[in-house]
Copies of this chain bind each other. A is one copy, B any other.
């Protein structure tokens, strides 16, 4: 099996069938990481370049481990230690890397659309590992896989996403993905963090968190990225936490079988209390485990599937 596309740039581009294919392939690869020998030879001799213009332990590590478990060679390039500071354009950097015959370039960049630019210019596969406030498709895919595992379905659910919707590529990719499967996606957050027109992506805006979670199946808490805000978007962390944080008190207002997601890294005591993050409803670590499986699936479906059947 193989996707009929060269690149994975965003959930926006993917049909339900493609989403299903990636998620079910990831389910089958999950088992590899539990084996004694956690490796399949499928992508031996393939070269994956992780080109990260923003630092990220977990995402880069997840892609690197996924590549290695598929037996591909992984090469990491991070901007701070690289010659891209010399002022070369993104396109030139990419064309140069491509000339070394990689099979896939995984790119994270602070500018929305950077992966799309690369995809247009390069013959090799491009995977978006997060572009500005635009998309983070493998995150949404791992979130969908996690929800599917626990809920048994990806349809007809009420999904509540809480936090800085305006600046979150995770929110954006998830709104598009979950709404595509006919789920009801609700977004909640301070008015300054809800972009006008967000409903067009397929979600409903709630102003109060209690209302939104009352009959929710899934609550996805977003990280408050204090370090990215130039002008403060809310009066204080304590105020934010009181109105939009998830603690056991507030969680008690949600249904008993609700599940909690968070893309990490979490700010304990800010958007989520330690009791909730570490509690029985939390799927935060399942998400991380599923991240490796989703990325193995993406590499497989972009680079290797055709040879298998």
Contacts and interface: CB of A to CB of B under 8 A. Distances in A.
Contacts of A291: 100
A249 to B, nearest CB: 22
Interface stretch (A3-11, A50-58, A111-119, A132-140): A50-58
A33 to B, nearest CB: 4
A210 interface: no
Most central of A33, A46, A98, A99 by chain B CB within 10 Å: A99
Interface string A50-94: 000001111001101100110001010110111111111100110
A102 B58 CA distance: 13
A39 interface: yes
Contacts of A99: 285-289
A218 to B, nearest CB: 19
A308 interface: no
Nearest to A268: B89
Given A55-B82, A65-B73, A68-B73, A100 B35 contact: no
Contacts of A236: none
Contacts of A73: 39, 65, 68-69
Contact of A58 (B87, B96, B286, B292): B96
B55 A45 contact: no
25 contacts: A38-B47, A38-B101, A38-B103, A47-B69, A55-B81, A55-B83, A57-B77, A57-B84, A58-B97, A61-B77, A61-B100, A68-B73, A80-B81, A88-B265, A88-B266, A89-B268, A92-B264, A92-B265, A96-B265, A99-B287, A100-B288, A100-B289, A100-B291, A100-B292, A101-B289
- 5 closest residue pairs by CB, A with B: A37-B45, A99-B288, A39-B45, A88-B265, A57-B82
